[in-house]
Amino acid sequence: MSLIDISQPLASSTSVWPDDQPVEWSWTAEIGDTSVVNVGAMRLSMHAGTHADAPLHVDPEGCAIDALPLEAFVGPVHVVPIADGPIRPAHVAEVEARRVLFQTPYSQVAPTEWEPEAVCPVTPETVQACAEQGVVLLGTDAPSVDPVDSKGLDAHHALCRHGIAWLENLHLSDVDPGLYELIALPLRVEGGDAAPVRAVLRPDPASH
């Protein structure tokens, strides 16, 4: 089975939003005189690295990450290259799957770096166009579907309104545009506003 890992690594060097909880790793037990096992512990923001947002992230009445239907996170996906932003309806006019991932210049930004000026935001009109095409999941390699300085978070709210799941901080630099199978299940964090995801692509035999 050939799988392409499109997840960012989680490490103390992983970039997070300014003032957000950094990734912290420690050992609570190490093999030695007093332990026969290694046991690690991690403290991190639910938005560190590759993750799925839940409606609760932007809506106090929205559902939590453990309540989202998992079907949206598994299935055929179209990786669409974007040269620069914002991402507009024309970019999704020829999408051939019910899931779409945007490969933007942010895929060239190292997971350890924070470059808000490189974000290609998704317009609410693009979310509307995706909804009309039956899209159930949208993903981006950027840390947000909106501009990082947005106060209205229009794309986030549009995704909630249309019931479209979304992924952020994907690592797509080594992926050719085209059709794949996506497997990107979020952790079952009870009551969470988001959750880390191990996202992989399986090449579609019909297109590769």
pLDDT tens digits, 191-202: 999 999 999 999
Question: Which pLDDT does position 31 carry in this prediction?
Answer: 97
Nearest to 160 by CA among 48, 67, 94, 75: 67
Cβ 17 vs Cβ 44: under 8 Å? no
Superfamily per CATH, domain 4-203: Putative cyclase (3.50.30.50)
- Give the separation between CA 76 and CA 92, rounded to whole angstroms: 15
Q: Report the pLDDT averaged over residues 80-92.
A: 96
Cβ 159 vs Cβ 126: under 8 Å? no
Residues of 159-187 as b/e, b for ≥16 C-beta within 10 angstroms? bbebebbbbbbbbbeebeebbbbbbbebe
Question: Which pLDDT does position 199 carry in this prediction?
Answer: 98
Longest dimension (CA), the chain: 63
Q: Catalytic annotation on 57?
A: yes
- Give the separation between CA 75 and CA 89, rounded to whole angstroms: 22
Please pick, among 51, 57, 156, 171, the residue that the annotation labels catalytic.
57
Q: What's the whole-model pTM score?
A: 0.94
